[in-house]
Amino acid sequence: MLYLFTDFGWQGPYVGQMKSKVSEQVRYCQPIDLMHDVPAFNVKAGSYLLAAVSRYLPPDCVVAAIVDPQVGSDQRALVLRADYRWFVGPDNGLFDVVAQHASSCHWYEITFRPAHVSRSFHGRDIFIPVAGKLLLEESCDSFLSPISCPEPRFNDADLNEIIYIDQFGNLMTGLRASEVDGLVSIHFAGQLLSRATTFSDVDTGTAFFYENSQGLIEIAVNCGNAQAHFSATIGDSIALVF
């Protein structure tokens, strides 16, 4: 199974061309769109999002993860094998949090290069073909070279910041709820917010925080828009109260 995780958005040819590329290589493959609205160019947010959303994926799946503002530079192309899942993408810290949360990791540099590589679309020309090779269980020696763990760019296993804002205006943080069992309140944008289990626990229009479906702390407004309510943006920090 192949999952796609990018900041490409849904407009333009990019997602479609990646799907077409892997379908040529692996006829039975129907890629699943995990996310295409990762905050644009934001590798840090992408790293925490990837760790959260990939924890529910099945063993031996392949995730082509592409948030790559330095595409076409001399940065390496990598594969990470973390807890029986494969991750394919750039060497820019995107896999750092996945690796920190994993119980076992094996890192590889991608040595495969096709005859033609676009300097601005390694997702289609390098990462997707390598994902296809992994799906076909080709010998890794022919396209991967083992390496030591790259120096991490993002050292914190959890992040007290807003990393994603969904279509409802809910504010997802990079903080795992399982790591803050005793958390009672949070300070955000000058307000003290209480914890709830779900939206219906609070009155309409009330702001609160809860554990979302990805296992992360999220700020929301019942039947409202937390982004508009707080004038929030990606990267805004929260303070924890135990």
Q: For residue 153, is it within any domain?
A: no
Tell me if residue 32 falls in helix, strand or coil. Answer: strand
Backbone region of residue 97 per phi and psi (left: phi > 0; alpha: psi in -120 to 50; beta: other values) = alpha
pLDDT at 242: 87
pLDDT digit string, tens, across residues 86-135? 999 999 999 999 999 999 999 999 999 999 999 999 999 999 999 999 99
pLDDT at 181: 87
Tell me if residue 225 falls in helix, strand or coil. Answer: coil
pLDDT digit string, tens, across residues 52-87? 999 999 999 999 999 999 999 999 999 999 999 999
Domain match, 34 and 134 both: yes
Domain match, 132 and 47 both: yes
pLDDT digit string, tens, across residues 194-232? 999 999 999 999 999 999 999 999 999 999 999 999 999
Domain match, 141 and 179 both: no
Domain match, 121 and 205 both: no
pLDDT at 96: 98
Q: Which of 173, 176, 189, 196 is nearest to 231 (CA)?
A: 189
pLDDT surpasses 90 at 234: yes
Domain match, 173 and 211 both: yes
Beta bridge partners of 78: 89, 109
Q: Is 99 or 155 the better-scoring residue by pLDDT? A: 99
Q: For residue 31, is it within any domain?
A: yes
Distance CA(100)–CA(232), nearest Å, equals: 28
Q: Are 42 and 67 in contact (CB under 8 A)?
A: yes
